[in-house]
Amino acid sequence: MATHTVRPILLALVLCDSVIREAGTNKLSLIGTFNGIFANTFPMVHHSLCVYIAITEGRGRMACKLRMTALESNAVIFELPGEIEFGGPTNVGEMVFQWNQVRFERPGVYAFEFWVGNDLLGSRKLHAQLLQQPPPK
């Protein structure tokens, strides 16, 4: 791993249902972006969740991780390690983290945090909300 003295810059941290890589151009398409989820009851399971990351100003190969926390309790729900490699400081490194069957125990605000080494580069909040049902007639 390269030791970095210049802190990488987070360009994007996007939550979505899926990510498709186009074979001919190698371009990514983010499908179904969102900032919140709704459920009739909790706990609930979200079928598919992807997090797209884009960073720049990196040097060499860098250790990174994506962490999901419940902001109400500050509890870490999960943490996934990874590595990202840069061809040079002006290159943009992209990563996609994907989970199936993500369980949310209760409504609340959750954070997805992206770390490189010991540096928190940025985070994105996700609101898990109880779907309000209209009163019976």
Q: For 48-103, how does the pLDDT look when each residue is reduced to its tens digit (9 = 90+)?
A: 999 999 999 888 888 999 999 999 999 999 999 999 888 777 888 899 999 899 99
Give the DSSP H/E element, type plus range, for residue 112.
Answer: strand 108-116
pTM: 0.87
Domains recognised in the chain with CATH numbers? 9-130 (2.60.40.10)
Instruction: Measure the CA–CA gap between 36 and 109, rounded to whole angstroms.
Output: 9
Instruction: Measure the CA–CA gap between 27 and 131, rounded to whole angstroms.
Output: 35
Question: Which pLDDT score is estimated for 135?
Answer: 65
CB 70 within 8 A of CB 110: yes
Instruction: Measure the CA–CA gap between 93 and 62, rounded to whole angstroms.
Output: 10
